Structure 1
Amino acid sequence: MDEVKVVVAHSERATLRVGDVFLKVDAHQARLDAEVEAMSLAPVPTPKILWRKPPVLAIAALPGTALGCLGEPSTASPAAWAAAGTAIRKLHDAPLPPWPGRGKGPDELTADLDGECERLVANGILPADLVTRNRQIADAALRPWTPMFTHGDLQITHVFVDGDEITGIIDWSEGGPGDALYDLATLTLGHEEHLGDVVAGYGTDVDLDVIRAWWSLRSLLVVRWLVEHGFDPFMAGCEVDVLRSRM
């Protein structure tokens, strides 16, 4: 029998791997529904759904390897990063899915960000000057945007490649209308050296200041959550280093 590997597990959901099958366990039925629907509509390669029995979704493993990992240098070629940009552009150009986005608008994000910054400093998690500087940078992302079909959680580990080709994108639970530049920022978080490759593949002018603002905004919002759920954002190359690099 194949070994059972825990890929990720926290209070919201867990993912297990058994051989070439991934089992996603999620207590929120609506989130699983949205993931299945997003994969069916996305015009990019996605994993094959093997079966579904709430609260479990079984999907097949994708060929190839992840584009990289936060905190580690990516061994993927510049062409592979550009191919990721091309795939993201294809997604963003697709018709909007028929459900509201899970992400928040600029006003809600501003309120959440200000509250989170206060807690980071008050609880001694991050120094005040680091928080203040990144809060200033984050302002550029807090603007109106035209909703596009976005992945919503396009971490580098969610994009799989084989050589220079994209073989698939996983974890669509946050998929829906959203800010296109948030997807580009999430993919390149901690890998600024590949931002040019991604933008070249994306094929249009993008506001790099907004992408950098999303790096600061996303990192500020997730540091405390990561600490409280057993992850380490202080590891080299991860979220706290991203914040430090903006100083």
Structure 2
Amino acid sequence: MPVCDVREVVTQHLPGYRVESVVPAGDGLQNVAFEVNGELIVRFSTEPDPARRTDLITREADLLATVAGLTPLAVPVPRFTAAEAGCLAYGRIPGAPLIDVPEEQRLAHGPWVAETLGELLTALHSAPVERMAALVEADDVPLEDWRDEAAETYATVAAHVPPAYRRAVSAFLRTAPPAAGYAPVFTHNDLGVEHVLVDAWAVTGVIDWSDAAIADPARDFGKLYRDLGPAAVDAAVRTYRAAADDVATLIDRAVFYARCGALEDLAYGLETGRTRYSAKSVTALEWLFA
């Protein structure tokens, strides 16, 4: 997306707004984002199908408006949408993505951050499922499929896994997953450290709700376990008040998702050259496959 197109869409939808600077603000599998004037995030969907792209943007804008009334943390509040262009613009939330914090500091302060995220998950997982199902889809992929996909991923990244962990990874991929038996809830569904914003270790907001779904509540805890470790998940559970699941079985599934997710993130980092993702995944092997 050229800078000139970003300027055009902003001036078209915010008459009188003067665009003085446009800088890249990140890109992922689903979106490309730009920061305008240091205060506005303008994001474009990479979905190639125009009809689906329009639907995704419209649904996400509606979702964000609803989530803003549920969560104790800041979420992106749309300033405008240009659904046909796959564009969603919102005010920049203060803070830096937790993935940008040096790893040693991130892990040391992980439990403190996770206490706040436990409160967030209480709000999300307690939301009326019927209401949220009108805004997001169900994501009920069987756990066996998660394991099988992780096995396929591992075949492509095994050489990058330190030898000390390879036997444990192989054993995990041969083991039956935990029993499902959960009540689906509204989830962020991608609560990795790249989507958590912090300032002086206070959580200032959570971004990127494009994967939000009605799903297993352990999905959200799995990302915390993968990226911040078991102490952080213990801290999140202490502030978690939703009656979504038995805590022991919730954590069992969270560990399962974390193990699958670490292999996925390792592959993503290696394929894209984003070393922050591959580095944090290798670090996580210590508590995931010790």
Where on the TM-score scale, by shorter chain, does this alignment land: which range? 0.7 to 0.9
1:167 is displaced (CA, Å) by 4.1
User: Hey, what's the Cα distance between the residues in 1 that align with 2:228 and 2:188?
Assistant: 19
- Calculate percent identity across the aligned residue pairs: 20
Alignment of 1:80-159 (within 5 A): 80-96=113-129, 97-98=132-133, 99-102=136-139, 104-121=141-158, 124-126=159-161, 130-134=165-169, 136-137=171-172, 142-144=178-180, 145-159=182-196
Which ranges in structure 2 are unaligned for 5 or more consecutive residues? 1-18, 48-52
- Out of 217, 225, 229, which is 1:180 matched to? 217
Per-residue CA deviations over 1:128-173 (Å, capped at 9, x if unaligned) read 7634413544757653232110001112242335678654321000
Matched, 1:239 2:281: yes
User: Hey, what's the Cα distance between the residues in 1 that align with 2:56 and 2:139?
Assistant: 10
Q: Given the two structures, how large is their TM-score scaled by the length of structure 1? A: 0.81
3-state DSSP of counterpart to 2:157? helix
Give RMSD over aligned pairs: 3.0
User: Hey, what's the Cα distance between the residues in 1 that align with 2:169 and 2:209?
Assistant: 28
- Out of 24, 27, 35, which is 1:17 matched to? 35
1:219 is displaced (CA, Å) by 0.7
Alignment of 1:3-42 (within 5 A): 3-10=21-28, 12-18=30-36, 19-28=38-47, 29=53, 30-42=55-67
3-state DSSP of counterpart to 1:63? coil
Kept in 2, the 8 Å contact 1:161–1:168? The answer is yes
Bigger helix share:
2
1:86 is displaced (CA, Å) by 0.7
User: Hey, what's the Cα distance between the residues in 2 that align with 1:242 and 1:79?
Assistant: 18
Matched, 1:194 2:232: yes
Which range is displaced more, 38-47 or 171-180? 38-47
Look up the equivalent residue of 2:258 and give its one-letter code: W
- Out of 229, 247, 261, which is 1:206 matched to? 247
User: Hey, what's the Cα distance between the residues in 2 that align with 1:158 and 1:220?
Assistant: 19
Look up the equivalent residue of 2:144 and give its one-letter code: D
3-state DSSP of counterpart to 2:227? coil
User: Hey, what's the Cα distance between the residues in 2 that align with 1:230 and 1:52?
Assistant: 31
Look up the equivalent residue of 1:230 and give its one-letter code: G
Distance verdict in 2 for CA 1:37–1:106, change over 3 Å: farther
Kept in 2, the 8 Å contact 1:50–1:58? The answer is yes
Instruction: Tell me how many residue pairs correspond in the alignment.
Output: 243
User: Hey, what's the Cα distance between the residues in 2 that align with 1:64 and 1:150?
Assistant: 22
Distance verdict in 2 for CA 1:34–1:226, change over 3 Å: farther
Look up the equivalent residue of 2:45 and give its one-letter code: D
